[in-house]
Chains A and B, each alone.
Chain A
Amino acid sequence: MVKLNRRQFIALGTASMGTALVGNWLYQEKKSSQPKPLSSANLTPVYQSSNGLLELDLEARESLVNLGGQQASLLTYNGQIPAPRLEAKPGDTVRIHFTNNLEQPTNIHYHGLHIPLVGNADNVFLKIEPGKQLTYEFQIASNHPSGTFWYHPHLHGLVAEQLFGGLAGMFIVRGELDEIPELKAAQEEFLVLQDFSLDNRGKRADSAHMSLMMGREGDIIAVNGQANPSINLLKGGLLRLRILNASPSRFYRLALEDSAFYQIATDGNSFSEPIEVNELLLTPGQRTDVLVKASQESGQYRLLNLPYDRGSIGMMGGGMMGRRNNSDTPIVLAKINYKSTVESLTLPTKLAPIEPLPEPQTVRRFELNHGMNPAVGMAFLINGEPYDRDRLHTQVQLNTIEDWELINIGVMDHPFHIHGNAFQVISRNGIPELLLAWRDTVLVKRGERVRIRMPFRDFAGKTVYHCHVLDHEDLGMMGNLMISA
């Protein structure tokens, strides 16, 4: 037996974790990845609708990309990390000619969009084999809320791996909200947060070596595919940030150094008015829209990722080598540079009103934990059952309202996502939630009981609900939801 001291041990990694450490740029700030102003260097291509139609070719394939100055072989849409940003308006038709050039089957989920759940729309039961094509086509209803949504693969069993490969992009619906003068005047920037694990040749880490039970995390954090980018706030001193957590498992606890956020939306759905917050916890799948005011002297805000403990196996969860560092210290995700030569724009006072939902017709209970199941062995479970594609776990009626009690009886946090319809949080651990907000993903912390209220509107069909720590989803924490007309 060769003795290793701990430092060597960490650098070597182990077969059980197997994560090659390539150094976290966010600490090292290598010279090779000089920050560039996002406005000019955000190379994410944008496809916008025109004359009521958003039409594009989209190809999933493994590509060599420049990930913050480092060559990486990642899974991409159209060769881009993150994927192209799609922008449409309420009433538009969306037509995506999709080609799967991955070595695995895949499909696309339009996360947060309220569109048909069957056919070639937000249908997670589609399976597009390697080399095959499919044209997604759907209409965004004329009363669809405007907001920050996104798209990513959703083929059960492969979701975590394919997102960890990089397959994710924003889907913006531009509508009434964006016409509010203060928002229209603000400088708009988009932040896609992803993490990756690469070996020293830039190849993706093998899933077998990732911490599947905790949910895989990578030691490289990328913001729009870059390391620690800079945003130059050019006009008016008001910045609108649309932030997406596209990581399969990593939580981001966001804060600005020396400043607050003015949050205007959760999961793409706006509040009735801006809310001042100092911290924002963004679980996988969640989005937030915030305004940042350059209210001080000329200078810089650093966007920080603060430590967060999302699971308790011991004190560090998952055993990801190097994670210990990540979880102990704040990390700088991006920098916002601004000059106070112009007077800061004012914040909007009113956004879009939110109506509370009427009392539910039905209340259901969903208990979340991992455990042994006689049929499949160790799995993540909802009400003691792992996912079974042939079962209808929950059947609801279109045009009804239900309360769901989400109860986490386990030892890890589970962000719960429901496809197709947004919901409102009613209470947490029995304490009424005062903030009225629409969400599609809500964190249920270990030991917590979250009650949500949800209308099933417009679209009948079969879809799913699941934990958005995507390894948990792939390992069984998902259920089929049938919405019957």
Chain B
Amino acid sequence: MPKLLSKTTIASIAIAATAIGTIYLTSASRGNNIVNSSNSILAKDNSSPATLVSIWDKETEPNYSGTTEMTVYRSPNCGCCSVWVEHAQKHGFKIEDIKTDEMEALKQKHNIPPELASCHTTIIDGYVMEGHIPVDDIKRFLAEKPDMVGLAVPGMPIGTPGMEAKDIKQPFQILAFNDKGEVEVYKEYQSY
């Protein structure tokens, strides 16, 4: 409740401050950078989904001893890739986070079949990891060192790591693909 109160107060101040001539309003205080940039409570609101408990937080590959450094390529404007990056960090990965507008060219360069594409693309240990893959499945895959290009969760299924929503969990598959464009199901999540 104190949070709500402070939001309202700040919004009112903003209105009062700009009441002359044309008024610039936002319908929600969070969208108005001028108003809330110096406000710690609102900034905290903005930062992370800490209040949501993710089923993907649980460590299932505690004995993983492979590479922990990955490079994530993502659009600077994507609203979900950064949350997947946090998921990977929670599971011990060190991330080189590269924001680029050339995602399409990048996916072509790494032989990702177009129908497997998602938002962000990760490179680790010479493998391509496309989209919102649970990182413990990446650990399992890397330990096996298979003769494949990498893994993909096509599209952006809701419920996957970085895509958690309160009551929606879409079934999804992790697909493995090779350089001939052949695809196999690596793991399937029907319910989770």
Contact = CB atoms under 8 A, between A and B. Distances in A.
Q: Is the interface of A mostly helix, strand, loop or mixed?
A: loop
B65 interface: no
A367 B26 CA distance: 9
Interface string B148-192: 000001111110001111101011110110000111111011100
A214 B164 CA distance: 16
B31 A367 contact: yes
A366 interface: yes
Given A364-B25, A377-B166, A385-B30, A316 B115 contact: yes
B49 interface: yes
Given A384-B28, A385-B30, A362 B23 contact: yes
Interface in B63-119: 75, 77-80, 83, 103-104, 107-108, 112-119
A307 B74 CA distance: 25
Interface in A393-417: 393-394, 409-411
A208 B155 contact: no
Contacts of B22: 360-363
Contact of A312 (B80, B104, B153): B104
A5 interface: yes
Given A15-B190, A16-B170, A213 B158 contact: yes
B158 to A, nearest CB: 6
Given A312-B104, A446-B77, A378 B118 contact: no
Given A314-B107, A314-B117, A16 B171 contact: yes
B171 A314 contact: no
A238 interface: no
B186 A208 contact: no
A18 B171 CA distance: 9
Contact of A373 (B26, B49, B156, B190): B49
B134 to A, nearest CB: 13
Contacts of A446: 77
Interface in A304-362: 312-316, 318-321, 323-324, 360-362
A17 B49 contact: no
Interface residues of A, number: 63
Nearest to A394: B27
A31 interface: no
B86 to A, nearest CB: 9
A485 interface: no
Contacts of A91: none
A216 to B, nearest CB: 11
Interface of A: 1-6, 9-10, 14-18, 208-209, 211-214, 312-316, 318-321, 323-324, 360-367, 369-379, 381-385, 393-394, 409-411, 446-447, 475, 479
**Top 3 A-B pairs, shortest CB-CB distance:** A314-B117, A383-B31, A319-B155
5 contacts: A313-B118, A313-B155, A366-B31, A374-B50, A411-B78
